[in-house]
Structure formats: structure tokens, C-alpha cells
Structure 1
């Protein structure tokens, strides 16, 4: 099956965004994909904020993206856009780092007023980075994500079904996307 890089753009390890993403990672793993998690918050701030393209953590993130067949990008929505830590990482990746990749954008937020952040803030950046196919993304309200004391996650049935459909669509698209040549 395919290799999927699962990128959490949340600045918090215990965030609903991060937990939802890792929940979806398990679904992709169960479908036979190799899922590699990348939490942007673990990249040293001096590398991200100092735009240190040669920092080992940035080099490693770039190599992980190059190796992946598909990329899931999850972010909390702040001020109607994706997180700053995700923006910092995307800015440091090569211009066409997503060439030939299938990409699934996901977002969480506190209000339905932010539902279009995927289409109007994140999707254009992913597209400019050469993504071959950006599947339908999904926005989940924070209040719909319940994290239990044991770390398990529960979602309303309709949210669970919609997310399963989006992840399955992404899974099905992996490997079917032609690699596009990019002029140097």
C-alpha cells in the first residue's frame, strides 16, 4: 500500500486536532497504509522561525514529504486560517514539495464561521506546492470531539461517518494519481 505522512499543525500535543488526526491515522493503518506521524510542534522553534532550511529537523521533514505517496494535513483554525506553526513549516519546504502527492486537508475549530478556512486559506497553499490531487477536506467543530480520560476519542455518528468517508476517499485516491513533471 501507500506511505502516508500525517502532519499535525497543532501547537499542542493534547489538542483535539492532534487527537482526531491520530484517530484517523489508525483507520489508514487498518487499510494497509504505512502512516508516518509528523507533529510540527516538535520541530525546534529556532529552525522554523529562523528559516533554517539546513536544520536537520527541516531536512528530515522535507525527506519525509518526498518519501510519502500521500499527505494528510490537519490544523486548528485560528483567526480564519491554519496555524502559524504549520505556515512556518510549509514556508520552509521546497516550492513543489507536494508534486505527485495526494493530499487530504483537515481542520478543527470552535465555530462554523471557520469552515471555509480549508478552501480559502489552506487549499491554495497546498495547490501552489504542486499537489497532484487534493481530495475533499473536512472541518470538525471542537465541541464534536470528545477526548476521554483514557485517551480514546468519540465523535457524533454523523461526524464519524463523514470523516470515514473522507478518509476512505483519500485512501482510494492514493496510488491512482499520476506524477506530474515540474520544469526546473
Structure 2
């Protein structure tokens, strides 16, 4: 049986978190669809709030503590990434962006990505397409066409005539599952001795950031 590795990155700050709830719904549908096709799924979930200090230390010092390194390694080895962030001040959370900043620049190449976002009102939904999607495209990942935004009101019955949240989750998960199924990243080789930041920076900022 074929096995696919899925990584979930959730940058919600509260407990419980609607951001994590959306991530769980997305991976549940995606894993179910892959399972129906005879594909076994291994899932790893990383809550960025638990890694916040490690991410900051990495940005300052250029080295990842073990817990953060485990998350970075998991992303680099993944067959698919589900990335979900709350929207603050019209864009992704700072913690979310900081995590992306410490990922090896080549780690996301050809990686299928399902984007999710949460916010108080539907007016923030465009952030998926003007902020988050370009970020992953710049890093040569493959974000699926449907990004899933969940406003506070979307967790109700969806009876307002707009496509309901469960429908949007399923549509995004199906596009993601289709891409994960046909994407092969098994030949990726990571160089453990490569530097993801300029040597001058590691020596104290001798080169530009």
C-alpha cells in the first residue's frame, strides 16, 4: 500500500482554536479521500504557538532547537502540507510568517499545499489569495485552487445561500488529495550541512539580511 505523509501547521493562538479546528476538518476529509483510494496516510500536526520561542531563537541565532527542527524536517519530507492561519490586520499571523521564514528555501518545492484561514468576518477571506497563496507560490510550492476560509459565522448551519463550510472543506480537500496522490517527492535529498542563512549573518550580521 502506498503511504503519503501529511503535515499540518496550525498557527492559532488560543485554546481551543478555530484555526486548529479547521485544520483538523481539512485533514480528516483529505485523509478519508486518500484512504478510499487505497493510500495510507501518516499525519503530523504542529501547533506553532508551542514552537514560538524556538522560532524566535532560530531567527536570531540561525539554529533550530530540536522540537522546531523536527517540524522543519517533517515539512521537508512531506507529500502534502495543510497550512492554516488566523487573519490579523488583513494578513496572515506574524507567527505563521516567522515559521515560513525559517524553512529551508528549497523545502517546499513541488509540495502540494492546502491553505486554510480563519477570521471574524468574511471580508478577510481575500487574504488567502492576495497574501498567503503568493507566499507559497514564491517558494515554488503548489497551492491547490481552493483555499478554505472560515469566519465565525461559518461554524453555524450555512443556511445563508453561500456554499457551506463543510462543502468548501470537502472541495479543497479533494483538490489536495488529487494532487498529493499524483505527486512524488520521494527522491528529495536534504543536505544536513547546508546553510539556510548567509555565513555573514551567522557570524554576527557581517552580510546583509
What is the Cα-based RMSD across aligned positions, in Å?
2.2
Larger Rg: 2
> In structure 2, how many angstroms separate the alpha carbons of the residues matched to 1:121 and 1:172?
24
Instruction: Tell me the equivalent position of 1:49.
Output: 56
Aligned residue for 1:61, secondary structure, equals: helix
1:178 to partner: Cα distance: 5.9
After superposition, residues 92-103 of structure 1 pair within 5 angstroms as 92-103=102-113
Instruction: Tell me the equivalent position of 1:173.
Output: 179
Instruction: Tell me the equivalent position of 2:207.
Output: none
Instruction: Tell me the equivalent position of 1:152.
Output: none
After superposition, residues 114-125 of structure 1 pair within 5 angstroms as 114-125=124-135
> In structure 1, how many angstroms separate the alpha carbons of the residues matched to 2:64 and 2:168?
40
1:82 to partner: Cα distance: 0.8
**Which runs of 5 or more residues in structure 2 are unaligned?**
36-40, 189-193, 195-209
Aligned residue for 2:182, secondary structure, equals: coil
Judge conservation of contact 1:4–1:72 (CA < 8 Å) in 2.
yes
Aligned residue for 1:174, secondary structure, equals: helix
Residues 3-25 of structure 1 show CA distances to partners (whole Å, capped at 9, x for unaligned) of 11011011223111111211222
Taking structure 2 as the reference length, what is the TM-score of the superposition?
0.74
Judge conservation of contact 2:22–2:150 (CA < 8 Å) in 1.
no
**Which runs of 5 or more residues in structure 1 are unaligned?**
147-154
> In structure 2, how many angstroms separate the alpha carbons of the residues matched to 1:125 and 1:116?
14
Q: Give the one of 68, 74, 96 matched to 1:58.
A: 68
Aligned residue for 2:64, secondary structure, equals: coil
> In structure 1, how many angstroms separate the alpha carbons of the residues matched to 2:176 and 2:80?
8
> In structure 2, how many angstroms separate the alpha carbons of the residues matched to 1:178 and 1:68?
10
Judge conservation of contact 2:22–2:116 (CA < 8 Å) in 1.
no
Aligned length: 172
Is 1:71 aligned with 2:78? no
Taking structure 1 as the reference length, what is the TM-score of the superposition?
0.84
After superposition, residues 142-153 of structure 1 pair within 5 angstroms as 142-145=152-155
Instruction: Tell me the equivalent position of 1:82.
Output: 92
> In structure 2, how many angstroms separate the alpha carbons of the residues matched to 1:59 and 1:109?
29
> In structure 1, how many angstroms separate the alpha carbons of the residues matched to 2:13 and 2:101?
16
> In structure 2, how many angstroms separate the alpha carbons of the residues matched to 1:77 and 1:89?
15
Aligned residue for 2:9, secondary structure, equals: strand
1:38 to partner: Cα distance: 1.2
Structure 1 moving runs of 4+ over 4 Å: 178-181
> In structure 1, how many angstroms separate the alpha carbons of the residues matched to 2:29 and 2:43?
10
